Amino acid sequence: MFAYTKRLGRELQELKNSPSVGISVFQAEDFRLWLIDIEVIDNNPIYIGKKFRLQFRFTQSYPIEAPEVQFIQSYGRPIPVHPHIYSNGHICLDVLGSGWSPIQTVASVSMSIQSMLTGNDKNERPPDDARYVASAPISPKQSRFAYHDDTV
């Protein structure tokens, strides 16, 4: 068994046994791809009553290397409208790139994204959404995001 599978096995058990409010495992049948559902737990009018689906892709380098994380449209789950979330589901968030640390977990990343949504008061996409989506790589990890606006 690889070290990353042991780590992910522990994380999965924790997510199932002690889930955070508004975060649940939809699918985690292997150690390559997990689907996590999140919802904003306050009364943010932009997201009230909506659930979103995150896709986590892992490599054998996890947790040294960050997983690939993005929103996907699935089973009626839309991609949230947010100034740091592109319409293709790519998320501009430092903990998914240069701010990654092996201490992060699927739960902590999900909570960071949930918090990012909770604090948002702008019902808009990033200003360069159309340009980015037209030329974006398939994997958000191949993008070089500029983390310059932490007010949303």
Measured CA to CA, the distance from residue 87 to residue 77 in angstroms comes to 13
Structure tokens given for 119: 């604090």
Give CA separation, 113 vs 71, 109, 135, in Å: 10, 6, 24
Task: Identify the active-site residue in 66, 91, 92, 93.
Answer: 92
| Distance separating alpha carbons of residues 112 and 110, to the nearest angstrom | 5
The Cβ of residue 102 has, within 10 Å, a number of other Cβ atoms equal to: 11
**Closest by alpha carbon to 50, among 12, 96, 85?**
85
Residue 92 known to be catalytic:
yes
Active site residues: 92
